[in-house]
Amino acid sequence: MDSAFEILDDEAYNIFSPSAQLAILDSGFTWTEGPLWLNTSQQLLFNDIPPNTTYSWSESKGTKVYLNPSGYTQNIPRGGEPGANGLLLDSKGQLVLCQHGDRRMATMNSTLDSPVSDFVTLIDEYKGKKFNSPNDAVFSKAGNLYFTDPPYGLAQPDYQEMPFNGVYRYSSAGKISLIDSTLTRPNGIAFAPDEKTLYVANSDPAGAIWMQYSIDEKTGNILNKSVFYDATEAAKIDKGLPDGLKVNDQGYIFASGPGGIWVFNPAAKCIAKIRTGQATSNCAFGADQNTLFLTADDYLMKATFK
């Protein structure tokens, strides 16, 4: 087993075999984010946020520009983090993007095989005020879109219209609801397999935590919330904060955090870590759940479990 895999409990051997490896696929980016595996074309999409570009990577073709611009489509020059962040597919197989610069959730108005920087707004405001910079998102099986909205993408001439950084639910019927306005830096978001629990990362050095929300199965609304795990002390030692996360079919949570990827069981016990040596932003499963792609600072990596 590669030395990058730190086993903290024997339960981790349900996931990792002695042949588990971590490899660098590419490097030289600015800040990578939003990995998404496209099984139909056997390629990975990921974002480099500051240069406003989405890339594709495949075994056969390597890394290619997929979209530019990806998250900011206006002609007014700006700095900061304008590109797209989280990427996901809707029920029709269309690409949905968390667009920092345009401050909206949007759909790419073209096919996955012939991408163009033409986007349709899904939602860009709450109660008449523009979002900050939508960061990460997940669909429920019922088609409801849950997403986070921290301020990371804001830059002049932008300004924050919301007095908070929210977690939202955009229903399949087109209704926007505020789930939580108390997190200082809401970031990664993912469901447990049964969708009874929603996990949200908070990327704040002063409160480096993962939250869990109990979901009403009929309405999709939040019943209650609690801290899933507090990594504030760990964030003082290792690079990185709670950021993007994914959950496998067994309910194990793969969450970017201090030092790399933290692997939790559903009872909030950290059973392993994948140490990247970088501030790790996000992860995504490949064609099966024995492969995990990682975006880590200026790197694109792949962990193979078996």
- What is the secondary structure of 9-65 as a DSSP string? SGGGGGT--TT-EEEEEEE--SSEEEEEEETTTTEEEEEETTTTEEEEEETTTEEEE
pLDDT, tens digit (0-9, with 9 covering 90-100), for 255-302:
999 999 999 999 999 999 999 999 999 999 999 999 999 999 999 999
**Contact in structure between 118 and 111 (CB atoms under 8 Å):** no
**Contact in structure between 260 and 6 (CB atoms under 8 Å):** no
- Residue 80's pLDDT is 85
**d(C-alpha 187, C-alpha 282), whole Å:** 10
**d(C-alpha 254, C-alpha 291), whole Å:** 12
Tokens read off for 48: 């480099």
Q: Is 12 exposed, middle or buried (0-12, 13-18, 19+ CB in 10 A)?
A: buried
Q: ω into residue 205 within 30 of 0, thus cis?
A: no
Residues 6+ apart with CB under 8 A from 263: 12, 15, 252, 253, 254, 255, 270, 271, 272, 273, 274
- Residue 157's pLDDT is 65
pLDDT, tens digit (0-9, with 9 covering 90-100), for 53-107:
999 999 999 999 999 999 999 998 888 899 999 999 999 999 999 999 999 999 9
User: Is the model's pTM score more than 0.75?
Assistant: yes
**DSSP-assigned letters across all residues of 225-256:** EEEEEE-TTGGGTSS--S--EEE-TT--EEEE
- Mean predicted confidence (pLDDT) in 186-198: 97
- CATH class of the domain defined by 5-304: mainly beta
What does pLDDT average to over the chain?
96
> Could you state, in order of their start, the residue ranges of all structural domains in the chain?
5-304
Amino acid at 194: D
Side-chain-side CA neighbours of 110 within 13 Å: the count stands at: 10
Give the C-alpha distances (Å, rounded to integers) separating 238 from 32, 131, 228.
19, 31, 20
- Residue 155's pLDDT is 86
